[in-house]
Chains A and B, each alone.
Chain A
Amino acid sequence: MLLTTPDTATIRKDFPILNRVVNGHNLAYLDNAASSQMPQAVIDAYIEYHRGYHANVHRGVHTLSQEATDAYESARDAVMAFVGAACREEIVFTTGTTDAINLVASSWGGSFLKDGDRILVTNMEHHANIVPWFRLADSMAIRLEVIPITDTGEIDMDAYARLLPGAKLVAVNHVSNALGTVNPIAEIVRMAKAAGAATMVDGAQAVPHMAVDVQDLGCDFYAFSTHKMCGPTGFGVLYGRKALLETMPPYRSGGDMILSVSFDRIVYNKVPYLFEAGTPPIAQGIQTAAAIRYLTGIGMDVIAEIERNLLEYATGVLSEIDGLRIIGTAPHKAAVISFVLDGIHPHDVGTILDEDGIAVRTGHHCAEPVMRRFGIPATTRASFAFYNTTGEIDRLAASIRRTIRLLR
Chain B
Amino acid sequence: MNADRTKQLYQELILDHNRNPRNFKELTPHSHHADGHNPLCGDRLTVYLRVSDAGIIEEVSFLGDGCAISKASASMMTAAVKGKSLAEADTLFTEFHDMSMGRLDPVKDAHHLGKLTVFAGVRDLPARVKCATLSWHTLHAAMRGETVTSTE
CB contact between B6 and one of A346, A351, A363, A408 (< 8 Å): that residue: A351
Which residues of chain B are within 8 angstroms of A23 by Cβ–Cβ distance? 1-3, 5
Contact at B128–A347, with CB atoms within 8 Å?
A: yes
Top 8 closest pairs, chain A to chain B, by CB: A23-B2, A345-B67, A355-B6, A377-B42, A347-B67, A348-B68, A348-B67, A24-B2
Instruction: Please name the residue on chain A nearest to B6 by beta carbon.
Output: A355
In angstroms, Cα B66 to Cα A347, docked, is 9
Bitwise, B35-56 to A at CB < 8 A (1) or not (0) is 0000011110000000000000
Contact at B42–A355, with CB atoms within 8 Å?
A: no
Known: A377-B42, A378-B42, A407-B10. A355 touches B2 (CB 8 A): yes
Q: Does B143 contact A (CB under 8 A)?
A: no
List chain B positions with a Cβ less than 8 A from chain A. 1-3, 5-6, 9-10, 15, 18-19, 40-43, 65-69, 125, 127-128, 131
In angstroms, Cα B70 to Cα A346, docked, is 12
Instruction: Please name the residue on chain A nearest to B67 by beta carbon.
Output: A345
Contact at B41–A378, with CB atoms within 8 Å?
A: yes
In angstroms, Cα B38 to Cα A378, docked, is 13
Which residues of chain B are within 8 angstroms of A347 by Cβ–Cβ distance? 41, 67, 69, 127-128, 131
Instruction: Please name the residue on chain A nearest to B122 by beta carbon.
Output: A351
Q: Does A364 contact B (CB under 8 A)?
A: yes
Known: A345-B66, A348-B68. A363 touches B5 (CB 8 A): no
Least distance between A157 CB and chain B CB atoms (Å): 30
Which residues of chain A are within 8 angstroms of B68 by Cβ–Cβ distance? 344-345, 348, 407
Contact at B18–A407, with CB atoms within 8 Å?
A: yes
CB contact between A355 and one of B3, B43, B69 (< 8 Å): that residue: B3
Which residues of chain A are within 8 angstroms of B40 by Cβ–Cβ distance? 363
Q: Does A64 contact B (CB under 8 A)?
A: no
Task: Identify which of B19, B40, B43, B68 gathers the most chain A CB atoms within 10 Å of its CB.
Answer: B68
In angstroms, Cα B5 to Cα A344, docked, is 19
List which A321-380 residues lie within 8 A (CB) of chain B. 344-348, 351-352, 355-356, 363-364, 371, 377-378
In angstroms, Cα B42 to Cα A24, docked, is 31
In angstroms, Cα B72 to Cα A235, docked, is 42
Contact at A351–B125, with CB atoms within 8 Å?
A: yes
Contact at B65–A377, with CB atoms within 8 Å?
A: yes
Which residues of chain A are within 8 angstroms of B2 by Cβ–Cβ distance? 23-24, 355
Contact at B15–A407, with CB atoms within 8 Å?
A: yes
Contact at A406–B10, with CB atoms within 8 Å?
A: yes
Which residues of chain A are within 8 angstroms of B6 by Cβ–Cβ distance? 351-352, 355
In angstroms, Cα B129 to Cα A351, docked, is 12
Which residues of chain A are within 8 angstroms of B10 by Cβ–Cβ distance? 348, 352, 406-407
List which A225-264 residues lie within 8 A (CB) of chain B. none
- Sampled A-B contacts (16; CB under 8 Å): A23-B3, A345-B66, A347-B41, A347-B127, A347-B128, A348-B67, A348-B69, A351-B9, A351-B125, A355-B5, A355-B6, A356-B3, A363-B40, A371-B42, A377-B41, A377-B43
In angstroms, Cα B6 to Cα A352, docked, is 7
In angstroms, Cα B41 to Cα A371, docked, is 12
Least distance between A90 CB and chain B CB atoms (Å): 38
In angstroms, Cα B131 to Cα A408, docked, is 19
Instruction: Please name the residue on chain A nearest to B2 by beta carbon.
Output: A23
Which residues of chain B are within 8 angstroms of A352 by Cβ–Cβ distance? 6, 10
In angstroms, Cα B129 to Cα A347, docked, is 12
Least distance between B40 CB and chain A CB atoms (Å): 8
Which residues of chain A are within 8 angstroms of B43 by Cβ–Cβ distance? 377
Least distance between B70 CB and chain A CB atoms (Å): 8
Contact at B18–A364, with CB atoms within 8 Å?
A: no
- Given contact pairs A345-B66, A378-B42, enumerate 7 new A-B contacts (beta carbons under 8 Å): A23-B2, A23-B3, A348-B67, A351-B9, A351-B125, A355-B3, A406-B15
CB contact between B41 and one of A344, A356, A363, A407 (< 8 Å): that residue: A363
CB contact between B128 and one of A351, A371, A408 (< 8 Å): that residue: A351
List which A383-408 residues lie within 8 A (CB) of chain B. 406-408
